[in-house]
Amino acid sequence: MHDTQILERVIYGGQSQEENTTHFLPILICWANLLSGFFLMVGLATRFIALIQIPILVGAIIFIAGQKGGYMPQSEMWLAILTLLLVIFFFIEGSGPISLDAYFKHNRSRDSQGRNLP
C-alpha cells in the first residue's frame, strides 16, 4: 500500500489523485505515444523517437506485470513486449529507404530546379 502512495505522488505531482485536477504525466505520456507513433510511421527522426518510446514501454511492461499478474494469456503484456522489441529494432536499424528521413537526405543536395549541386 505504501508503494502505491509513492507512485501516486510521482504521477500526480506530489498531491493525491483527488486533489489534483490536471494529471500532467498521464497526458504527457499519451501525447508522446500518439506523436511518436505517427513519426515512426512516416519515418521522421526515427532513432530519436524510438529512444523516447523505450522508457515508456518499459514502464508499461512493469505496470502490466505488477497489476495483472503479467504472463497470463489474456494479458496485454505480450503486445507491450512485442512493441518494445519492434521499437528497439527501429532504434538499431533506423529509418528505411521509404521514409521522410531518406527523402530529406536525398533532396538536401539539390537546388530549387531539381538539379544536383556540385
- The pLDDT assigned to 46 comes to 93
Q: In degrees rounded to 5, what are phi and psi of residue 116?
A: -70, 140
Residue 101 placed within a domain: yes
**Cα–Cα separations (whole angstroms), residue 62 to 57, 75, 110:** 9, 13, 47
When divided into structural domains, the chain yields a total of 1
Residue 52 placed within a domain: yes
**Cα–Cα separations (whole angstroms), residue 52 to 84, 101, 113:** 11, 17, 37
Domain with 95 in it: 2-107
Residue 117 placed within a domain: no
Sign of the torsion formed by the C-alpha atoms of 99, 101, 104 and 109: negative
The Cα 95–Cα 45 span in angstroms is 8
Residue 114 placed within a domain: no
Residue 112 placed within a domain: no
Q: What is the pLDDT of residues 48-94, one digit of tens each?
A: 999 999 999 998 888 777 666 656 666 678 888 899 999 999 999 99
Do 22 and 62 meet the contact criterion of CB atoms below 8 Å apart?
A: no
Residue 49 placed within a domain: yes
Residue 34 placed within a domain: yes
**Whole-model pTM?**
0.69
Q: What is the pLDDT of residues 4-50, one digit of tens each?
A: 777 677 666 665 555 555 577 788 888 899 999 999 999 999 999 99
State how far Cα 48 lies from the chain centre: 10
